[in-house]
Amino acid sequence: MFDMRLANARGTANHGWLKSHHTFSFANYWDPKQVGFSDLLVINDDNVAPAKGFGTHPHRNMEIISYVLDGALEHKDSMGTGSVIVPGDIQLMSAGSGIAHSEFNHSNQEQVHFLQIWVVPNQSNTSPSYQQINIAAEDKRGKLHLMISPQGGEKTLAIKQDINIYAGLFDGEESAEYNIPENRYTYIHVAKGRIQINGQMFNAGDAARIRETATLKLSDADKAEILIFDMRPNEVPSM
């Protein structure tokens, strides 16, 4: 059974330079029914104006993922890391005992559209770290690619939590199946386009909690980009 979270039901924020949709409670948006799912705490769908962004600010004890959909995002942090993240890249910053970073639109002309995802870690006050890889479109085309897991691996980043995150690109007749492991929760987020999941149409920004369904069948897509989160069977994150 799907517990749907439709795109137009999300929280919104408009700061002029930043237009954001909040899947879960965040900043000034509060909904006691939307305080995360399992160890997934935040999915913010952000559009940032050219040459604008988030000035240097601190984080502690959080796994922070940036996933760029369009444009280019410039990252700098207190460890001395500097990078530009573009579509196909995946960034994972483990804040641990404390880190400060900034994120800016790298372009002076085009918006950047990205997802920022927070996962509550299973370890506290570890040494901060930063990881980034590029996953080519062909690795996600018509299939699900494991881009984040506890163990990491080839084209997979390592996260400090029992969570597996998959990304996939689907269009036209491309299809796939995902078998949900026993005694696990699943969260689906459609980042772009539209796709049918078990015969139900999901549009960009739509999402669902899944607690019991055994197999997900992905089909009939229109330029879809989706994320699937495989997680512990907890209802809300433990902070």
DSSP symbols for 125-182: SPPPEEEEEE--HHHHBTSEEEEEESS-BTTBEE-SSSEEEEEEEEEET--EEEEPPT
Q: What is the pLDDT of residues 82-94, one digit of tens each?
A: 999 999 999 999 9
Output the known binding site for Fe cation.
57, 59, 101, 103
Domains of the chain, by residue range, sit at 2-231
Output the known binding site.
57, 59, 101, 103
Q: What is the pTM of this model?
A: 0.97
pLDDT of residue 46: 98
**What CATH number should be reported for the domain whose range is 2-231?**
2.60.120.10
Tell me the C-alpha distance between 186 and 2, whole Å: 10
Residues with pLDDT less than 50, the chain: none
